[in-house]
Amino acid sequence: MEKVRVNLNYSKDYSYDILIDHDFVGNELKGISNYNRAHLVVDKNVYELYASFFGGDIFLLTSSEHNKNLDTVYDILKFLKNKKALRNDTLFAVGGGIVGDVAGFAASIYMRGISFIQVPTTLLSMVDSSVGGKTGVNLGDVKNLVGSFYQPKKVLIDTLFLATLPEDEFKSGLAEVIKYALLFDKELYEFLVHNKSDVVKRKNDVMIKIIKRCCELKAEVVEEDETEQGIRKLLNLGHTFGHAIEVDSDHEIKHGLAVAKGVYLEALFAYEKGMIGKKVLDDIENIFGTYDYDLNYKVRDFALFTNAIGSDKKAMSSGIVLALTSDVGSGIIKEGIDLDSIKKFFEGARW
Ligand code: NAD
Ligand code: MG
């Protein structure tokens, strides 16, 4: 069993452990199924694929951005109330980022907060959303507009779940892994470049190593800047353009696949503006090329697209903020970027 400790103790100690291994969560879940002080919100697909892990009364969630809303939070709160959940009970979220975000938010407000344990089942949620304490839901068409910072008591990562993950979901999560490598870790970058066949086969030891490294990196960032005042902004690499791509493609392009395009196109933009060198742009193309990502994007609706960039949560009154990488392993923040220059970049698209 691998362990990553997330140390968070400014006002009070709410540090927690991330436990990573292969094939251990099923037993834990079976163990709590009849224990009425634990409550489960489970992704419907996961429930169907791993039915033997679950018993008793559970809340099933069909994961979709359309269900990631306050109605679902309300339903979970009613579920907890009906089960007479008490203040020191625990809510388990078993699923991808959607289940984690929605259930985490519900846990943060039921009786002003009950214990919450994340059991991420997608690669994206293992390396990203289950760590760091951001919870929340969409409001209307605005993603993650309502939420809270609420840390889990524990995160249990079982690579067993990766075996059933659809290919595009795996690739979507892998884009976030590549993002960590580009921002913080040249060794991870080299490892990914040289171990493609094991990675795409999702070999357990290789996936445990990668996931552990990403959790360590995210933990370090979150420990330093829990509420995204500084270094945590780096994690937005690829997300400014990526988010606009998601919106403009009407979410046909999955988050991580949009982030991959975003990382590349932000880098190309930054290179053309003289903010980064050619070498790092090549390195970015190289790693995404290794894993066969499609990095191009043709904007469908320019107004929608640029509006999405301009109204990005990361934007500031002084202009657009971009997280970039100046060299593999060295993330940087560039502020005050003019939206018009980005518009021109996409209008003149030559890729
Ligand atoms: P998801 O939760 O929608 O899961 C993707 C799909 O995979 C779903 O259809 C689900 O049913 C299925 N699935 C889950 N586990 C499976 C398994 N083991 N085998 C087979 N199928 C499985 O998507 P996601 O990519 O995990 O998460 C995306 C969400 O995470 C977004 O809403 C995003 O906003 C959020 N997010 C949050 C944070 C954060 O810090 N809180 C960070 C990144 C992303
Ligand atoms: Mg992301």
CA–CA distance, 329 with 314 (Å, rounded to integer):
22
The confidence band for 347, taking pLDDT boundaries of 50, 70 and 90, is confident
Query: pLDDT per residue over 93-140, tens digit each?
Result: 999 999 999 999 999 999 999 999 999 999 999 999 999 899 999 998
Specify the residue for token string 């109330």: 81
Q: How far is the CA of 228 from the centre of ligand 2 (A)?
A: 14
- The SS3 of residue 78 is helix
CA–CA distance, 193 with 190 (Å, rounded to integer):
5
Query: What DSSP designation does 91 have?
Result: E
Residue 89 burial (CB count, 10 A) = 19
Asked if residues 185 and 331 have their Cβ atoms less than 8 Å apart, the reply is no
Q: Is the pLDDT of residue 314 over 70?
A: no
Q: Is the pLDDT of residue 148 over 70?
A: yes
Q: CB burial class (10 A; 0-12, 13-18, 19+) of residue 190?
A: middle
Q: Is the ipTM of this complex over 0.95?
A: yes
Specify the residue for token string 């997280």: 323
Ligand nearest to the CA of 242: 2
Point out the residues that are catalytic.
112, 134, 176, 218, 228, 232, 236, 239, 243, 255
Q: Check residues 140 and 203 and name the one with the higher pLDDT.
A: 203
CA–CA distance, 127 with 177 (Å, rounded to integer):
7
Query: pLDDT per residue over 263-312, tens digit each?
Result: 999 999 999 999 999 999 999 999 999 999 999 999 999 999 998 998 76
Please indicate whether residue 118, judged by its CB atom, sits closer than 6 Å to ligand 1. no
Q: Is the pLDDT of residue 317 over 80?
A: no
Cα-Cα-Cα-Cα dihedral sign, residues 319, 256, 219, 136: positive
Residue 128 burial (CB count, 10 A) = 25
In degrees rounded to 5, what are phi and psi of residue 161?
-65, -25
Q: Is the pLDDT of residue 316 over 70?
A: no
Averaged confidence pLDDT in the chain: 94
Instruction: Please name the residue whose Cα sits nearest to atom 11 of ligand 1.
Output: 45
CA distances from 170 to 11, 127, 177, 255, 317 (A): 37, 11, 11, 11, 36
CA–CA distance, 274 with 196 (Å, rounded to integer):
32
Q: What is the mean pLDDT of residues 209-217?
A: 98
The confidence band for 351, taking pLDDT boundaries of 50, 70 and 90, is low
Q: What per-residue confidence (pLDDT) applies to 230? A: 85
CA–CA distance, 99 with 41 (Å, rounded to integer):
7
